[in-house]
A = this chain, B = another copy of it.
Amino acid sequence: MNLSRISQICILAFAVPGFACQSPSEAIQPNFVVIFCDDLGYGDLGSFGHPTIRTPNLDRMAEEGQKWTNFYAAASVCTPSRAALLTGRLPVRSGMMGPERRVLFPDSPGGIPEAEITLAEMLKDKGYATASVGKWHLGHLPKYLPTNNGFESYFGIPYSNDMNQINKGPTKELLSPARVEYWNVPLMRDEQIVERPADQRTITRRYTEEAVQFIQSNQQQPFFLYLAHSLPHVPLFASDDFLGTSRRGLYGDVVEEIDQGVGKIMETLTELGMAENTLVVFTSDNGPWLPYGEHGGSAGPLREGKGSTWEGGMREPTIFWWPDRLKSGVVMEMGSTLDLFATFSAIAGAEFPTDRVMDSYDLTPVLLGTGTSPRKSMFFYRESKLYAVRQGEFKAHFITKPVYTGRPENETYHDPPLLYHLGKDPGELHDVAQLNPAVLQQIGKLVAAHQAKMVPGEDMLAARGEKDF
């Protein structure tokens, strides 16, 4: 990606010691670590209310940092959600969301378009060391892999851990007990397959080890580490140390192993004296995969899960940690994985694209406790259609559709839209459209303005037929 098209402006709009800059090169350059889970539900951490999953490290991270209770993934399934996090753009713009296929598959010839600028590209251009560890799912063919999208190294499974199923039964029946050899997924280092099928029993531990090693090796240079765990997406696997240890069963074992890994990363940063210079963000790509029962997570008090534009599909348990820098506490402001782009750009003094529509807001005022979130709305797309919009505390649903029921999933159009006050009614139980005509009108205007600027990208997910590796 050629970054020369990006205008060289300092986008910091607020003056805070250590953050304000005249030119990007004068900005401080802290490290960034993004820990991104797969299918973890809003209610699956102790600090987010789970009664039987123990997450002492994440709880401490939330206690010392910021616990965000209104933070969204940009899509309710893997591929578009990941594309959005790494580009700061709604996936419908990049073509990483389409009406035919929800995500990329091992037979997909497509992937993240070359024209997209990734977080890694932006930061690498600013002198950052970059590494991608874990699930990728933005295209497994060479040109789409992390190493061709701004990451200097890659170690992980390039798509979902339930793909390339080689046993003929339906996934659900293969889960108890799941066996590594049922899913012929590759483990890659950079662009080479180093293990196949990947031994998923140790994958969480190995991702953590890789992350820790990367941190240890990059003490002299600012870095961006994107650690995208393959789990707790089904099929679930845990190391021997965790198997059978949690009250929540295998799902809890998996989450508790991830929690331990988060603890190791915090510990490494602290021991090396790097914690005060590293912003760590923990979140997930979409809500829990509910039809998998005990193998899927929980959205806690929120409605529905993965695949859905109800809150449970896209609101994520999110924590920001940056000792001595963040104003710690509970944050009820709105934020999104889309916003990491503008936020990291602002903090690092890196160049923010001005040649394209961005959907990314700089959250640093909230992080530092100096202001409110510039994100005042959130657009909920499904299969490239706008299903719902949140503006302030209100969310309007124009279309709803059941998810993953195994039955035909018919869309229901709502006119007037369903309207919920998410502050008073986070569970989206009490439709208040009748009582709030003015709110509906305002949301209507917001949608019209949004759609006037919307140019969907060419669908990168639709094509099929390419052989896997």
A424/B294 in contact, CB under 8 A: yes
Could you say which residues of chain B place their CB within 8 Å of the CB of A330?
A: 46, 54, 56, 59
Residues of B within 8 A of A49 (CB): 43, 48-50, 300-301
* A242–chain B nearest beta-carbon distance, Å: 15
A172 interface residue (CB < 8 Å to B)? no
Q: Give complex CA distance A156, B79 in Å.
A: 58
Whether a CB of chain B sits under 8 angstroms from the CB of A426 is yes
Residues of B within 8 A of A301 (CB): 43, 49-51, 298, 300-301
A430 near B294: Cβ-Cβ < 8 Å = yes
Contact B298 A249 (CB under 8 A): no
Which B residues are CB-close (under 8 A) to A385? none
Q: How far is the CB of A383 from chain B (nearest CB, A)?
A: 27
Note all chain B residues with C-beta closer than 8 A to A423: 52, 247-249, 252
Distance, CA A298 to CA B279, complexed state (A) = 33
Q: Which of B51, B63, B315, B427 contacts A69 (CB 8 A)?
A: B51
Across the interface, which residues of B come within 8 angstroms of A59, CB to CB? 330
- The answer to whether B429 touches A293 (Cβ under 8 A) is yes
Look across to chain B and name the residue whose beta carbon is closest to the beta carbon of A330.
B46
Pair B332/A247 contact, Cβ less than 8 Å: yes
Q: A49-87 interface mask toward B, CB cutoff 8 Å, 1 = contact, 0 = none?
A: 111101010010001000001100000000000000000
Question: Given A330-B46, A332-B247, do A51 and B293 touch, yes or no (CB 8 Å)?
Answer: no
User: What is the CB-to-nearest-CB distance from A393 to chain B, in angstroms, rounded to a whole number?
Assistant: 7
Of the candidates B52, B69, B248, the one whose C-beta lies within 8 Å of that of A52 is B69
- Chain B residues near A393 (CB-CB < 8 A): 247
Chain B residues with Cβ under 8 A from A48's Cβ? 49
A94 at the interface (CB under 8 A from B): no
Question: Which residues in window 22-67 of A have CB below 8 A to B?
Answer: 43, 46-52, 54, 56, 59, 63
A155: CB under 8 A from chain B?
no
- Contact of A298 with B427 in the complex, beta carbons under 8 Å: yes
Q: Is A136 an interface residue (CB 8 A)?
A: no
The answer, yes or no, to whether A223 is at the interface (CB within 8 Å) is no
Flag if A293 contacts B430 (CB, 8 Å): yes
A251 at the interface (CB under 8 A from B): yes
Q: Chain B residues with Cβ under 8 A from A52's Cβ? A: 69-70, 332, 422-424, 426
Smallest beta-carbon distance A450→chain B, Å? 24
- List chain B residues, Cβ under 8 A from A332: 51-52, 54, 247
The CA-CA distance from A248 to B425 in the complex, in Å, is 7
Contact with B along A261-299 (1 / 0, CB 8 A): 000000000000000000000000000000001100010
Q: Return the chain B residue nearest A59 by Cβ.
A: B330
Contacts of A298 in B (CB 8 A): 301, 426-427
Please measure, in the bound complex, the distance between the C-alpha atom of A315 and the C-alpha atom of B51, giving whole angstroms: 10
Complex Cα distance, B429 from A300, in Å, reads 13
CA distance A328 to B391 in the complex (A): 40
Question: Which residues from B are CB-within-8-Å of A425?
Answer: 293-294
Contacts of A249 in B (CB 8 A): 421, 423-424
Q: Kindly state the separation between the CA atoms of A172 and B251 in the bound complex, as whole angstroms.
A: 41
Q: In the complex, what distance in Å separates the CA atom of A99 from the CA atom of B298? A: 36
Tell me the residues in window 330-346 of chain A with beta carbons closer than 8 Å to chain B beta carbons: 330, 332
Contact of A47 among B47, B54, B426 (CB under 8 A): B47
CB distance from A439 to the nearest CB of B (A): 15
Contact indicator A43/B300 (Cβ below 8 Å) = yes
- Find the B residue at minimum CB distance from A426: B51
Complex A-B: 14 CB contacts under 8 Å:
A43-B49, A46-B330, A49-B300, A50-B426, A51-B69, A51-B426, A52-B423, A52-B424, A247-B393, A248-B424, A249-B423, A293-B425, A293-B430, A294-B430
Q: Chain A residues in contact with chain B, CB under 8 A?
A: 43, 46-52, 54, 56, 59, 63, 69-70, 247-249, 251-252, 293-294, 298, 300-302, 315, 329-330, 332, 393, 421-427, 429-430
Please give 6 more A-B residue pairs, beta carbons under 8 A apart, in addition to A51-B301, A51-B302: A51-B426, A52-B70, A52-B332, A56-B330, A59-B330, A249-B421
Closest 4 CB pairs of A and B: A49-B49, A247-B423, A51-B69, A249-B424
